[in-house]
Amino acid sequence: MIRTGEAMAAENIYYIGLDLGCTFLKYALGASDGSLIVKKKTPSRADQAQSVIFEVIFSAIEELMEEAKTRGGKVVAIGLGSPGAVDFKKCRLIGNTPNLQSWGNAEIRKTITGRFGLPIWADNDANVMALAEATQGAAKGYKYVIALTLGTGIGGGILIDGEIYRGINYAGAELGHLSIAYDGHPCNCGGRGCIEQYASAPAMVRNYLDKIKDASEEVTTITIFARAAEGDQSAIETIDETAEYLGAALASIINTFNPEIIVIGGGVADAGEEFLTRIRHAYEGRTMKPALKGLKLVRAKLGNDAGVVGAISLAKKMYEQSQ
């Protein structure tokens, strides 16, 4: 086979993926096919000034550029996933992020491209995770994808025809704030009855503690699933109800988007296949039949790597489009 100049050059192309969180900045070097070569993490120093967080990011980028150089190649683009709403066009934060206080209004592109001269694309972390699963994870090869991350909150990502759906003000795809009860629990978003108030990890714990009438007990979702396996009735009921809540939310999502595949990630999803089966049964009873044809419900595959993998996928996708 004759190797063209273009193919040889592609082998020496690298991407940087950054996943900014409240505790850590995860950072990784990706090959031309988007696969991970090196991955690392460092404290994000989220409690400090914005300039300090940028310094942490600069160091990570410098380290990975050096790594690419020792491999005889060069970094061509950077991707970054961040908490909060991100103006994708300008790659800057819109307003504040509660857990990363000084990060509000951060000028990601201006600051990073200004320093390194490399193109960067930044997006909301839930969108980046959805892209990760669709390019390298459980939804690889699918174009109509819904991703839900069940954790402290509920994050959502929507891919329509392979493209991340962001909405006109980049405030869309907040699937955790889909309401399942119009006069239900108040939510910190200003709404009521948001699925996040019913099926996130803290909501599940609260529901269980209400049932056992002992608010002092130290319980996590792991405890609840373990106790259910031992036959604890309150734990079983809590899990059944969580599945019903998620089923109600997913039925609305399925009727609206008619996805090919739904990916569930986060700690609660680690509970296993049986929990997923319960969720499936719950939405099947509530969804219009044509939208269920061929629909898959799967667990996320990439776990803690989803952020950096997605950031690399974003950098690669946008860089290739810009060429």
Q: In 170-299, which residue ranges form alpha helices assigned H by DSSP?
A: 196-199, 201-212, 221-229, 233-257, 273-284
Which residue's CB is nearer to Zn ion, number 56 or number 154?
A: 154
Binding residues for Zn ion restricted to 154-183, rule: CB under 5 A: 177
Which residue from 21, 162, 172, 191 is in contact with Zn ion, where contact means CB under 5 A?
191
For the bound state, the minimum distance from the C-beta of residue 267 to Zn ion, rounded and expressed in Å, comes to: 20
Judge contact between 86 and 124, C-beta under 8 A.
yes
Q: Is residue 187 close enough to count as binding Zn ion by CB under 5 A?
A: yes
Report how many residues bind Zn ion under the rule CB under 5 A.
5
Which among 16-24, 186-194, 237-245, 267-275 is the span making contact with Zn ion, rule CB under 5 A? 186-194
Which residue from 194, 228, 239, 249 is in contact with Zn ion, where contact means CB under 5 A?
194
For the bound state, the minimum distance from the C-beta of residue 314 to Zn ion, rounded and expressed in Å, comes to: 26
Beta strand 13-20 pairing with 74-82:
parallel
Which residue from 22, 36, 181, 189 is in contact with Zn ion, where contact means CB under 5 A?
189
For the bound state, the minimum distance from the C-beta of residue 197 to Zn ion, rounded and expressed in Å, comes to: 7
Instruction: Please report how the helices 201-212 and 221-229 are oriented relative to each other, as an axis angle in degrees rounded to 10.
Output: 50
Which residue's CB is nearer to Zn ion, number 28 or number 187?
A: 187
Smallest Cα–Cα separation from 124: which of 79, 168, 178, 75?
79
Chain residues in the site for Zn ion (CB under 5 A): 177, 187, 189, 191, 194
